Amino acid sequence: MANVAVIGAQWGDEGKGKIVDWLSERADVVVRFQGGHNAGHTLVIGNVEHRLSLLPSGVVRDGKLSIIGNGVVVDPWALIKEIDNIAARGVTVTPASLRVAENATLILPSHGQLDRAREEARGAYKIGTTGRGIGPAYEDKVGRRALRLCDLADPATLPDKLDALLLHHNALLRGLGAAEVQREPLLKSLLEIAPKVLPYADRVWERLDEARRAGRRILFEGAQGVMLDVDHGTYPYVTSSHTHPGEAASGAGTGHAAVGYVLGITKAYTTRVGSGPFPTELTDKIGQTLGERGREFGVVTGRKRRCGWFDAVMVRQAVKTAGIDGIALTKLDVLDGFREIKVCIGYRLRGDTLDYLPARADLQAAIEPVYETMDGWSESTRGARSWADLPALAIKYIRRIEELIDAPVALLSTSPEREDTILVHDPFAG
């Protein structure tokens, strides 16, 4: 049986939470390998809705080991708050069920201050970050000045490490005209949070090696989406980490061979949060209808998502750059009742037709979609659990998407409920 990496194949918010939850029932270990608490997953278990930002989706399942890998940047206060919040909903998280990489980079309050100050300084050119400090934390990581979880276990050297970090942060904040960070209150907060988070610290690379040797199934859970990847996304309107499945290995501390089947998640239409190019965006009544039916608001920020038709060019590029083996198509039911449905099959740029998303930001902003129009269906697909439950025109739409993106549909989701899922191919079978 293969391990599975689940990644977004658009700009995030594709419904990864439900799919990971559905798959986690058959997995033994669930691993977050990149991003931070800017990601958001919504899980519906019975009548209870769980909104997770940093915790792996496997925490809601008994008997599963959840891991936060070294590729994740961790806000320790946000982590403990999320553990407390989910406990209030009946899910107990303990060091036996959750392990956090001891070498994971920490997000401090000063990272959020920097994030927000820089966004404000950009004015009309804002990237659209969540303002939670994820980008600045990754910068400190590669700049070799970050605090890591293991540093909290050494209070003797922590002050000096914090001084070195604040030297950099406060210089930037001064330059931006923002208030500087006070050392003593921050040091006190770190010393107070340390005993709460350190029990979860572990050599997660060793736990994963043990799991592999024991033949346990591992599910790698990505955040955001391929088109927000810092290299392969719509730069500079991207996240600060690699959202590709290759990061699953390095961001968890395991060999690349451990990442088996790559499952890309994509909506039956397209959404995006924040700034940046969006070739198929609809600002008319159709776009509004998609947003209302799909309840398109960010899990973390509550921001309204921009909506548009399915962009097959973009998803095909994601399939090729990320090595996606199959996709999980979500929110098909949102398209119920449309008389006609459009799919982007190319881009028009200054008289030329492109079959790829150009790397240059100015060209991304200038392209126009080339659409193929398909007949919609009047019947409901919501809650369908087999192909026999789907209208013929909905199946035709799915098959056309498969052709256009060069990848098969492995799973089909027809509502937020975990059981409303059609299994076409088992990703764990490889």
Distance separating alpha carbons of residues 139 and 141, to the nearest angstrom: 5
Distance separating alpha carbons of residues 362 and 72, to the nearest angstrom: 31
3-state secondary structure string, 394-408? HHHHHHHHHHHHCCC
Token pair 């008997």 in the structure block, residue: 63
Both tokens of 429, joined, read 């079978």
Q: How many residues does the chain have?
A: 430
B/e letters for 67-100, b = 16+ CB within 10 Å, e = fewer, are bbbbbbbbbbbbbeebbeebeeeebebeeebbbb
Other C-beta atoms closer than 10 Å to the C-beta of 210 total 11
Q: Which burial class, exposed, middle or buried, applies to 250 when counting CB atoms under 10 A from its CB (0-12, 13-18, 19+)? A: middle
Catalytic residue, chosen from 13, 151, 311, 420, is 13
Catalytic residue, chosen from 21, 37, 41, 75, is 41
Specify whether 13 is catalytic: yes
**72 in Cβ contact with 137 (< 8 Å):** no
Q: Which burial class, exposed, middle or buried, applies to 116 when counting CB atoms under 10 A from its CB (0-12, 13-18, 19+)? A: middle
Specify whether 425 is catalytic: no
User: Catalytic positions, please?
Assistant: 13, 41
